[in-house]
Amino acid sequence: MKKICLTTLGIFILFSAAFAQQFSVDTTGYKNEKLHLEETNLISGYYNQDGNHSAVTGGIGTQKLNDISNIIELKFVKYDNITNNKYTLNLETGLDHHTAASQAFINKSGASKPYGTRFYPSLNWKVEQANKLTVGFGVAYSGEFNYHSYSANFLIGKASKNENTEVTFKAQAFFDRVTMLEPSELIPKTTTVNIITYTTASGRTYTSGGGHGENIPTSPRNTFSGSLTWSQVVNKNFQFALISDIVGQSGLLSLPFHRVYFKSTNDSAKIENLPGTRIKIPLGLRMNYFPGDKVVMRAYYRYYIDDWGVKAHTASLEVPYKISPFASIAPFYRYYIQTAADYFAPYAQHSLSDQYYTSNYDLSAFTSHYVGVNIRLTPKKGVFNVPWFNMIEFRYGHYIQTTGLHADNFGINLRFK
Provide DSSP, 339-363.
PPPTTB--TT-B-TT-SSBB--GGG
- Closest-CA residue to 320 (of 286, 288, 358, 345): 288
Which amino acid is located at 134 in the chain?
A: T
Which amino acid is located at 297 in the chain?
A: M
**pLDDT at residue 355, rounded to an integer:** 94
CA 413 to chain centre: 17
Q: How far apart are CA 63 and CA 261, in angstroms?
A: 18
Residue 46 lies in a domain: no
152-199 pLDDT, tens per residue? 999 999 999 999 999 999 999 999 998 877 777 777 654 443 433 444
At 5, the pLDDT band (50, 70, 90 cuts) reads very low
Quick count: other Cβ atoms within 10 Å of Cβ 247?
A: 17
Helix (H) or strand (E) run with residue 19 in it: helix 2-23
Q: How far apart are CA 303 and CA 317, in angstroms?
A: 16
**pLDDT at residue 189, rounded to an integer:** 56
Total domains present in the chain:
1
126-140 pLDDT, tens per residue? 999 999 999 999 999
- Entry pTM: 0.84
Q: How far apart are CA 24 and CA 131, in angstroms?
A: 33
**pLDDT at residue 114, rounded to an integer:** 74
CA Rg value for the chain: 24
β-bridge partners, 301: 285, 315
Residue 11 lies in a domain: no
* Cα distance from N-terminal residue to C-terminal residue, the chain: 26
**pLDDT at residue 20, rounded to an integer:** 43
What is the number of alpha carbons within 13 Å of residue 282 lying toward its C-beta? 20
- Closest-CA residue to 323 (of 375, 285, 248): 375
- Closest-CA residue to 317 (of 367, 370, 376): 370
Residue 269 lies in a domain: yes
**pLDDT at residue 179, rounded to an integer:** 82
Residue 341 lies in a domain: yes
Average pLDDT over residues 308-327: 97
Q: How far apart are CA 209 and CA 10, in angstroms?
A: 38
Residue 90 lies in a domain: no
Residue 101 lies in a domain: no
Residue 213: which domain range? 52-60+116-416
pLDDT at 111 over 90: no
Q: Which residue has the higher pLDDT, 256 or 30?
A: 256
CA 220 vs CA 116, 178, 199: distances in Å: 21, 6, 15
pLDDT at 23 over 90: no
Q: What is the mean pLDDT of the chain?
A: 86
At 110, the pLDDT band (50, 70, 90 cuts) reads low
CATH of the domain at 310: 2.40.160
Residue 1 lies in a domain: no
343-375 pLDDT, tens per residue? 999 999 999 899 999 999 999 999 999 999 999
Q: How far apart are CA 229 and CA 171, in angstroms?
A: 12
> What are the DSSP calls for 99-143, one per residue?
EEGGGGGSSTTS-S-SEEEEEEEEEEEEEE-TTSEEEEEEEEEEE
Residue 89: Cβ-neighbour burial (10 angstroms; 0-12, 13-18, 19+)? middle
Average pLDDT over residues 387-400: 96
Residue 362 lies in a domain: yes
Q: How far apart are CA 93 and CA 120, in angstroms?
A: 6
